[in-house]
Chains A and B, each alone.
Chain A
Amino acid sequence: MADQLNNEGAAGLIPEPVIVKTERRWFLAMAAMLGVMLAVIVLTGIGQMLHPLSDVETIDPATLHLQGEFVESNLGSALEPDGSITVRIIAEQYMFVPHCAVVPASTPVRFRLTSADVTHGFFVQSTNTNAMVVPGYVTNVRTSFESPGTYQMPCDEFCGFGHHAMAARVVVVPKDQFKNLRPDERMNCGTQ
């Protein structure tokens, strides 16, 4: 009896068509909000060419210096047969090695990084790169630099006591000033 009265009372206060209309309005508002948020994600993703790494490449972090592509003589910039550049860097507590890379402008650049100890972050100022460097895996990131200059490359993943000082640089030189490397030659700021 009491329920009935309440129902009748509520129905009496707000007529059902009004309730339905309000619900529909709020539903549309929520759908629009969701739509905007999804669009922001998708559009920034496409616009800034952000995409997750798609490969899983494993590597033993304890023996980087003994074998494979991250031995110290193979670090730095390498020229590929198609004219693009591959830069190999080790991230370790608390530095990048080499801590200054040289690449030519307006050329596809592929960064290949791996960690010797804990998870570090790879990020080059004003590019679309931003990835974690996880021990045991190779981080493979492609980008290119349009204008010459010095780009900061701080570790953006807290990695311990000395993290705040872990920062490297990428020096982008005009394409015609970049040394024509032999296939087995590697370069960084120190060897230039």
Chain B
Amino acid sequence: MKLENGPRLHNPWGFIVVAVVSATVVIAFGLGFLLLPRYQEPRAPFSTKDAVYHALGFHIHGKAFNTMQPPPKVPTYIAWTESTIRQATIGDRKSGEFIATNCTACHGEKGLSTQPWIPSLAGLDRLVLYKQLDDFRSGTRLSGPMSAIAQSLTSQQYADVSAYFASLPGLPENRGERTPRPHSSYRNRDPVQRLIYAGDPKRGIAACASCHGPGGYRIGAPALAKQNELYLEQQLQAFALGTRANDMDMPMRTIASALTESEIRALARAYANENANGP
């Protein structure tokens, strides 16, 4: 068989296609792996090897940064990892009821406080109670009586007493009931209702309800409805001044410092007088 007579060898297309495809691949690799990575990171003069690594997605320009950090400030030692959430929710209600006899003098019989500056605990989320107790112990949330009390208890006892207070009827537990409320929009005429349900995008204030409910839920955000008015007002002021700074990733300090004095008072009043279905 004479090869020169084979029909394929006379057809140039096979060669052309292979040549075009390989040229495209070579040019694309040159652009994508060698040229563009250098152009994209002008501050880190790359070696060829680094440029290829960078294009492959490995993080290599870390050294170009100013690595001097201010001394870290830790808002809370709680992180919502699976193990923390498990630890905070395995509490035993029965032992919690026994521990709670130490609390009723201030937080009220059945967790409903009668003193305006002391919060009610009945019905608060277990994760909220656990986190606040841990913060009182570590000193990231400052309070005269509570730090001493929290230091006298173990983490297991936090979980137990949290299970007990969470099971009591009182504040509506914030489970993030997902139904939107009627009239919860910018069209609501009452500015406080607007803040609670719609927020204020111009000032970057998210709706309180999107984290505290009703309607929305964010892990660790306490229910506010029916809480004591003075307590709510003091906490908002403390967040605004930074004297309370235990909110993880700073949502409350950011929001409270954008609110005016009169808005803080009005919000506290609206939440304190709220019924279970919302203000």
* Size of the chain A interface, CB-CB below 8 angstroms: 51
Binds B, one of A2-10, A53-61, A120-128: A53-61
Binds B, one of A19-27, A28-36, A163-171, A172-180: A163-171
Query: B47: CB under 8 A from chain A?
Result: no
Out of A81, A166, A186, name the residue touching B70 (CB < 8 Å): A186
**Complex interface: chain A residues within 8 A of B98 (CB):** none
- Say whether B69 contacts A92, CB under 8 Å: no
**Complex interface: chain A residues within 8 A of B206 (CB):** 93-95, 162, 165-166
**Complex interface: chain B residues within 8 A of A55 (CB):** 54, 57-59, 61
Out of B70, B200, B205, name the residue touching A184 (CB < 8 Å): B70
Min distance, Cβ A155 to any Cβ of chain B, angstroms: 10
**Complex interface: chain A residues within 8 A of B205 (CB):** 165
Question: A78-B66, A97-B251 given as contacts; is B201 within 8 A of A165 (CB)?
Answer: yes
Query: A40: CB under 8 A from chain B?
Result: no
Q: Could you mark each residue 237-272 of chain B with 1 if its beta carbon is under 8 Å from any beta carbon of chain A, else 0?
A: 000000000001111001101100000000000000
* Size of the chain B interface, CB-CB below 8 angstroms: 49
**Complex interface: chain B residues within 8 A of A168 (CB):** 204
**Complex interface: chain B residues within 8 A of A96 (CB):** 204
Question: A66-B77, A165-B206, A184-B70 given as contacts; is B250 within 8 A of A56 (CB)?
Answer: no
**Complex interface: chain A residues within 8 A of B70 (CB):** 73-74, 184-186
- Say whether A79 contacts B204, CB under 8 Å: no
Q: Could you mark each residue 36-57 of chain B with 1 if its beta carbon is under 8 Å from any beta carbon of chain A, else 0?
A: 1100100100000000001101
- Which residue of chain A is the closest to B75 with respect to CB atoms? A65
Besides the known contacts A74-B70, A97-B251, 14 further A-B residue pairs in the complex with CB atoms under 8 A apart: A54-B36, A54-B55, A55-B61, A62-B81, A63-B81, A66-B77, A80-B66, A86-B66, A92-B249, A95-B255, A98-B254, A161-B215, A165-B198, A167-B201
Closest 10 CB pairs of A and B: A162-B210, A165-B199, A94-B206, A161-B216, A56-B57, A162-B206, A161-B210, A183-B68, A99-B204, A73-B73
B: residues with CB less than 8 A from A are 36-37, 40, 43, 54-55, 57-59, 61, 64-66, 68-77, 79-81, 198-202, 204-207, 209-211, 215-216, 218, 248-251, 254-255, 257-258
